Chain A
Amino acid sequence: MTTPRLYKTEAIVLRQRKLGEADRILTLHTPAYGKLDAKAKGVRKTTSRMSGHLQPLSRCMVQLARGRSGLDVIAGCETLESFQALREDLDRLSRALYAAELADRFLAERVESMATYRLLLDTLRRLQDGNADTALRYYEMRLLEQSGFRPELERCLGCEQALQPEANYFAPVAGGTYCPSCGAGAAGSRTLSLNALKVLRLLQRASYNEAGRVTVPPALAQEVERHLRSYIVCMLERDVNAAAFIERLRREQQPLEV
């Protein structure tokens, strides 16, 4: 045995599902072991000493015991950061859940992922007290990069020429941008405005602080969100569930509908 029977690690709880009478299976994101599932026994009882420490989105220190079936059991845990302010605001909470869902979908099990751990942690902190949408777009772009799905934003995927400062095309299936002449007929391509291209490039190149300093008007922010979302859905080959809830909240916040 290379790893001890009991080991300790920091973790962010990505999601949970019920198991049996009072147990849960938690999906944890750890820096050294990547994503892993662990069983938390008895956490659905009110007297559980652990349940309060293992809520989704919490950062905690967990002690894990190697299970025989490959599923480790949580032997102990303590909250390091509960992100309480995030939980008390439905708009921020829905975005944090979206971020957690993306991490869950993009990460491989039991593969070291220090960088994505750091990114998710930073993002949860930014979602808590920064501009939630900027934080989320930055997270999406960085996560794509770290998972090996960096979109091409400099050159045309058809003629390989550098893009000109004009309206171009974005084709998720192909993995990035097309110039106007190559992109018109390309599969799944959509018009990409020059400003949206600039914002996407900024997200790809700049630090979070630099990206956060740029004010993006709502219509442009929506265009950028749409392009990134369609790219992610295309890479994952499935919808991101939490996105629907964010959309719904946004719709219902419109002053017309009360």
Chain B
Amino acid sequence: MNEHGSAAPAPVARLIEEFHKLPGVGPKSAQRLTYYLLRMPAAEARALAEAILDVKERITFCSVCQNVTDGNPCRICASDRRDRSIVCVVEEPLDILALERSGSYQGLYHVLHGAISPMDGIGPEDLKIQELLARLRSGEVAEVILATNPNLEGEATAMYLTRLLRPLGLKVTRLARGLPVGGDLEYADDVTLTRAMEGRQEVQG
């Protein structure tokens, strides 16, 4: 017996429980997903179950960039088309997907798996910072792009990394901050406007 499906048979209740653990899935959604799966052809349900197992069993972290990967090193680190002299430091693997979608970057990545958040007790030791430093000591890298989020935690992380990287004599850059495409100038906050003004560029043409 449990809170989500006391009237439901035990296996159904168990699946509802499991769905409920997922982020963003409330009790109602968990019930809906479970009853949808019940009506699904057995082959499709099996494919879903196998996909979940596959992810857990075959995916590891790339030993170079710490991204999630099915081979080691990952496809980006192993590619000979990428510029190996630039490393873009991001918080999460999903950030790499976003940057790759833009197609504007040809260098390598490094995933920190989080950002420094002193109030939550997440410090530098919880991130993949030692791995980054080890990588940079090889001397192949000339520029590090700090692409952590432009929020408090991301900025704190970027400042902390800047302190660590300064003595290494590398070029350290930070992603530009300014107005988002599709945004409204009148709603922009002071900091964003200041940054946008500072980073203005001459119009070509």
Q: Does B182 contact A (CB under 8 A)?
A: yes
Q: Flag if B118 contacts A97 (CB, 8 Å).
A: yes
Q: Does B183 contact A (CB under 8 A)?
A: yes
- A253 → B minimal CB distance (Å): 9
Q: Does B124 contact A (CB under 8 A)?
A: yes
Q: Which residues of A have CB within 8 Å of B182?
A: 47
Q: Which residues of B have CB within 8 Å of A49?
A: 183-184, 187
- B175 → A minimal CB distance (Å): 12
Which stretch (A53-61, A181-189, A205-213) binds chain B?
A: A53-61
Which stretch (A63-71, A86-94, A115-123, A194-202) binds chain B?
A: A86-94
Query: Scoring B residues 163 to 183 as 1 if CB is less than 8 Å from chain A, else 0, what string do you get?
Result: 100010000000000001011
Q: Flag if B191 contacts A52 (CB, 8 Å).
A: yes
Name the residue on B nearest A252 (C-beta): B163
Bound form: Cα–Cα A101–B122 in Å: 14
Bound form: Cα–Cα A93–B155 in Å: 10
Query: Scoring A residues 29 to 55 as 1 if CB is less than 8 Å from chain B, else 0, what string do you get?
Result: 000000000000000001101011101
Contacting A at CB under 8 A, from B91-132, are 116, 118-121, 123-124
Q: How many residues of B contact A (CB 8 A)?
A: 28
Name the residue on B nearest A258 (C-beta): B167
Q: Which residues of A have CB within 8 Å of B24?
A: 20-21
Contact of B119 among A20, A46, A100, A248 (CB under 8 A): A100
Q: Flag if B151 contacts A248 (CB, 8 Å).
A: no
Q: Flag if A52 contacts B189 (CB, 8 Å).
A: yes
Contact of B191 among A20, A84, A104, A248 (CB under 8 A): A84
Name the residue on A nearest B152 (C-beta): A56
Name the residue on B nearest A244 (C-beta): B123
Query: Scoring A residues 238 to 258 as 1 if CB is less than 8 Å from chain B, else 0, what string do you get?
Result: 000110111010001000001
Q: Which residues of A have CB within 8 Å of B167?
A: 258
- A179 → B minimal CB distance (Å): 37
Q: Is the interface of B mostly helix, strand, loop or mixed?
A: helix
Q: Does B35 contact A (CB under 8 A)?
A: no
Q: Taking A55-B152, A90-B159, A93-B159 as contacts, is the C-beta distance between A245 and B189 under 8 angstroms?
A: no
Q: Flag if B190 contacts A79 (CB, 8 Å).
A: yes
Q: Which residues of A have CB within 8 Å of B151?
A: 51, 55
Q: Does A155 contact B (CB under 8 A)?
A: no
Contact of B155 among A46, A79, A87, A100 (CB under 8 A): A87
Q: Flag if A53 contacts B189 (CB, 8 Å).
A: yes
Q: Flag if A52 contacts B188 (CB, 8 Å).
A: yes
A and B contact pairs by CB, cutoff 8 A, 25 listed:
A20-B24, A46-B180, A46-B183, A47-B180, A47-B182, A47-B183, A49-B184, A52-B192, A55-B151, A56-B152, A57-B152, A79-B189, A82-B191, A84-B190, A84-B191, A90-B163, A93-B156, A93-B159, A94-B156, A100-B119, A241-B119, A242-B119, A244-B118, A244-B121, A245-B118
A49-B184, A241-B119, A248-B123 are known; give 15 further A-B pairs, CB within 8 A: A47-B183, A51-B151, A52-B192, A55-B151, A55-B152, A57-B152, A82-B189, A87-B152, A90-B159, A93-B156, A100-B119, A241-B118, A245-B116, A246-B118, A252-B163
